């Protein structure tokens, strides 16, 4: 199976912005195992800004563009260093790909991106993708990695996109406020009701939230790619997902 897995900052880092070592080690182990089992995997990883905040000892996520971009430049190194080290333990080779919205909108650059991805997968490498945050100002950025992951999944014709986050999936109401809120296991059609359940922003270090995840689901399902929102706190959930069981929300792609 060709599979894109997106991990959010809330999964990779503690709220201080420092790496959640146990979580990331487990994630790299499970992904390595899934690759060994014959799956083609692409990782879309957030965490550059969050990790830069930790490494530069900034008091909080910056709000101004230059500091965000500087934090991303520092944090992206830390991210790739960590992935390179952990995946090497299981004999997997990582490749860094940094893109912006502009790169996908330009037909020539989009095709170069797809060709490189195909070649990396053919060579057995593990592409790790993030937005090129140091150059991606508002006008040219995709802006959040949920949408970026959906764009990647659709362009490389992945069967499934998994968004790993800090909640089990989409709920019938906000589970932080409403005790009766229930996890929605399957969404066949993303109608206004589903969109209205998405609520607002995400964690203090990341960009997304449920709204960007529903947007990602719209992009995927329209193009026939399935999408799952699942809790990344236990990366073993990836095994459950491939076996088709467990707690998550599954968005069924349109069969074209
Ligand atoms: N590209 C951002 C980063 O790596 C994350 C964007 C997002 O959280 O969606 O920090």
Q: What is the pLDDT of residue 207?
A: 53
Provide the pLDDT for residue 16.
Answer: 80
pLDDT of residue 208: 57
pTM to 2 decimals?
Answer: 0.94
Looking at residue 123, its pLDDT comes to 97
Residue 132: closest CA among 97, 105, 160, 169: 97
Q: What is the pLDDT of residue 3?
A: 98
Q: How far is the CA of 206 from the centre of ligand 1 (A)?
A: 6
pLDDT at 256: 72
Give the Å distance between the CA of 46 and the centre of ligand 1: 4
Pocket of ligand 1, candidates 7, 11, 48: which has the most ligand atoms within 8 Å of its Cβ, to mutate? 48
């Amino acid at each position: 199976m060709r599979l894109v897995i997106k991990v959010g900052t809330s999964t990779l880092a503690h709220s201080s912005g420092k790496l959640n070592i146990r979580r990331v080690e487990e994630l790299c182990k499970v992904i390595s195992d899934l690759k060994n089992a014959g799956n083609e995997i692409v990782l879309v990883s957030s965490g550059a800004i969050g990790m830069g905040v930790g490494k530069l000892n900034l008091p909080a996520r910056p709000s101004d563009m230059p500091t965000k971009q500087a934090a991303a430049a520092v944090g992206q190194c830390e991210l790739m260093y960590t992935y390179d080290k952990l995946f090497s333990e299981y004999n997997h080779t990582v490749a860094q790909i940094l893109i912006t919205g502009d790169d996908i909108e330009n037909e020539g650059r989009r095709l170069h991106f797809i060709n490189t991805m195909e070649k990396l997968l053919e060579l057995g490498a593990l592409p790790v993708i993030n937005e090129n945050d140091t150059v991606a100002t508002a006008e040219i950025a995709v802006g959040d990695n949920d949408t970026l992951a959906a764009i990647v999944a659709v362009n490389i014709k992945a069967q499934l996109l998994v968004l790993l986050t800090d909640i089990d999936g989409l709920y019938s109401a906000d589970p932080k406020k409403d005790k009766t809120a229930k996890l929605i296991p399957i969404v066949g059609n993303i109608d206004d009701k589903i969109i209205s359940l998405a609520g607002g922003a995400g964690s203090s270090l990341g960009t997304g939230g449920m709204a960007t995840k529903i947007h990602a689901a719209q992009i995927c399902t329209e193009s026939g790619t399935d999408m799952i929102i699942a809790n990344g706190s236990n990366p073993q959930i990836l095994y459950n997902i491939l076996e088709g069981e467990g707690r998550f929300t599954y968005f069924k792609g349109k069969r074209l």
